[in-house]
Amino acid sequence: MIDWNTYSYQSSWAKSPVLFAPPHPENMTAMPYQQAGVEYHMSRRHAVFGDAPGLGKTAQSLLLDNAIESGRTLVVCPASLRLNWQREIWLWSNIENVRTHAVLQSSHGINPEADFNIVSYDMLRNPGVRDSILDLLWDHVILDEAHYLKDPKGNQRTKVVCAPNMLPRVTGRFTLATGTLLPNQPIECYNALRLLDWEAIDRMSIESFRRRYYAEGEGFVRINGKVKWMSNVRNVPTNLDDLQYRLRSNIMVRRLKEDVLPQLPPKRWHIMPLESSPEVRRALKHEGWTIASKMYEVDPDKFCEDVPIDGAISTARRELGEAKAPLIVNYIKQLLDEGVEKLVLAGWHLSVLSYFMDKLKGFGATYMDGSTPPSRKQTAVDRFQTDPEIRLIIGQMLPMGEGWTMTAAQDVVLAEPFWVPGKNEQMLDRVHRIGQTGERVIGHVPVVADSLDERIINTVIKKDHSIYLALDHKA
């Protein structure tokens, strides 16, 4: 049995260090809670910076790198953040004339002479890049946005990181950074626990983990390729206080903004009911909404955990996004006319984003989507942050929702919100983070009143509460 150490658990909430302050460049200042986060990691071989988004997990990862005096570090992050990581290394690393190598194309290869190599998760699937990484010894491997490893069944990139004969064979220390270790449900932290400290969960198999942290309920299961409804599916999260204790005592330091940055303004969600239109009514008649409604009514929680990607449902969501777009444009124009100086506008479908750019370009707008090159993404964010003539940044939820700082705005409009818990909060936290000096932060969610669109968002908010119980609840 694990010896639960009260201090280890309490230190995961620490606001200031007890004994240790990590080295940092003279022109940079680490906040006390960031120093405490590094102190937590220094007492463990591997660990997670699990702070809520906006508290500077990148800086803490690099302060830890300074503290362990790493000679060769590998950073793995989403493709859109490679150049942002390079910039942060230049700010926080204590290495004189630090050498960084961002692998933007597989042909760039790994540079064994660089202090830091920065690759994307997708690059791990490239045999040449993967083999070059595995041919070297790494003092430190930093995995940013580590919820990319959430799939309990594993995928190609997860296997490169977690399989014993892969990255664990060639590195001395893993550091994970993610503000959403459990994007949806408890099982999504299993890979991280097994990678960093399997003893923390008594070396449970994934089946044992599921028995421990899920009670039986009703739901769909897939058996021999067929979907069946059963009354004894393990899909009801339970024992979350125990899971949190194991995480915090062994591998995860996590603080909330209200605990360590009380100067930040409050944030809140504003669910904005949209008046209907002929286009919206027509879009809601698509057969995909009928299919989605039947699945949602049977099991709302399962529906939001594993959002269907059926072609009809996908088409229905796109058509509704296109139908809502003119109504959302009117709402945004109203916000800007009423005094909102800058605004983040997030959607998903390229046709919807193109409409926004066309109708709102007169307000000054920058843009990014999944195909935007990393350098142009960084330029878009920089212009939004510094140019008073640029009042909007418009982009796709996923590439725009990870790692960026957009504190020039206080308002975020989610034109096409995620149906997955945690992702919408992550988008709002681009604005609600260190550097925000406004009096409030608001996430605007325009929904079609009395529709499945509205009911799904309410379910997502409820699911966020389960994540809170597993990570942040104080008994």
- Distance of alpha carbon 330 from the chain centroid: 30
Largest CA distance in the chain: 65
Note the residue count of the chain.
475
With contact defined as beta carbons under 8 Å apart, do 84 and 145 qualify?
Answer: no
- Inform me whether the pLDDT recorded for 226 exceeds 70: no
State residue 123's pLDDT score. Answer: 93
**Distance in angstroms (rounded) separating the CA atoms of residues 58 and 381:** 17
Q: How confident is the model at residue 372 (pLDDT cuts 50, 70, 90)?
A: very high
Tens-place pLDDT, residues 402-444: 889 999 999 999 999 887 766 788 899 999 998 898 888 988 9
With contact defined as beta carbons under 8 Å apart, do 234 and 211 qualify?
Answer: yes
Tens-place pLDDT, residues 59-79: 999 999 999 999 999 999 988
- Inform me whether the pLDDT recorded for 170 exceeds 90: yes
Structure token digits, residue 259: 């605990």
**Distance in angstroms (rounded) separating the CA atoms of residues 174 and 168:** 8
State residue 161's pLDDT score. Answer: 93
Structure token digits, residue 133: 């990484």
Structure token digits, residue 191: 């890979």
In this structure, what are the phi and psi dihedrals at residue 79, rounded to the nearest 5 degrees?
A: -55, -35
- Inform me whether the pLDDT recorded for 126 exceeds 90: yes
Read off the pTM: 0.72
Tens-place pLDDT, residues 3-13: 445 678 889 99
**Distance in angstroms (rounded) separating the CA atoms of residues 62 and 34:** 11
State residue 467's pLDDT score. Answer: 61
- Inform me whether the pLDDT recorded for 218 exceeds 70: no
What is the pLDDT of the chain when averaged over all its residues? 87
Q: Are strands 441-448 and 411-414 parallel, antiparallel or unpaired?
A: parallel
Neighbour-count burial of 96, counting CB atoms closer than 10 A to its CB (0-12 exposed, 13-18 middle, 19+ buried):
exposed
**Distance in angstroms (rounded) separating the CA atoms of residues 249 and 144:** 21
**Distance in angstroms (rounded) separating the CA atoms of residues 467 and 188:** 11
159-179 in b/e form (b: 16+ CB < 10 A) is ebbbeeebbeeebebbbbbbb
Mean pLDDT within 281-299: 81
**Distance in angstroms (rounded) separating the CA atoms of residues 81 and 64:** 19
* Structural domains of the chain, ranges and CATH numbers in brackets: 6-258 (3.40.50.10810), 267-471 (3.40.50.300)
State residue 417's pLDDT score. Answer: 87
- Inform me whether the pLDDT recorded for 449 exceeds 80: no
Structure token digits, residue 340: 């909102």
Structure token digits, residue 235: 């899909």
Structure token digits, residue 382: 């920089």
Q: How confident is the model at residue 339 (pLDDT cuts 50, 70, 90)?
A: confident
Mean pLDDT within 249-253: 95
State residue 302's pLDDT score. Answer: 63
State residue 345's pLDDT score. Answer: 97
Lowest mean pLDDT among 282-291, 326-335, 455-464: 455-464
Residue found by looking up tokens 């906006």 in the block? 54
Mean pLDDT within 258-274: 84
3-state SS of the chain is: CCCCCHHHHHHCCCCCCCCCCCCCCCCCCCCHHHHHHHHHHHCCCCEEECCCCCCCHHHHHHHHHHHHCCCCEEEEECHHHHHHHHHHHHHHCCCCCCCEEECCCHHHCCCCCCCEEEEECHHHHCHHHHHHHHCCCECEEEEECHHHHCCCCCCHHHHHHHCCCCHHHCECCEEEECCCCCCCCHHHHHHHHHHHHHHHHCCCCHHHHHHHHEEEEEEEEEECCEEEEEEEEEEEECCHHHHHHHHHHHCEECCCHHHHCCCCCCEEEEEEEECCCHHHHHHCCCHHHHHHHHHHHHCHHHHHHCCCCCHHHHHHHHHHHHHHHHHHHHHHHHHHHCCCCCEEEEECCHHHHHHHHHHHHHHCEEEECCCCCHHHHHHHHHHHHHCCCCCEEEEEHHHHCCCCCCCCCCEEEECCCCCCCCHHHHHHCCCCCCCCCCCCEEEEEEEECCCHHHHHHHHHHHHHHHHHHHHCCCC
State residue 303's pLDDT score. Answer: 61
What is the side-by-side order of every strand in the sheet holding 441-448? Answer: 267-274, 441-448, 411-414, 343-347, 392-396, 365-368
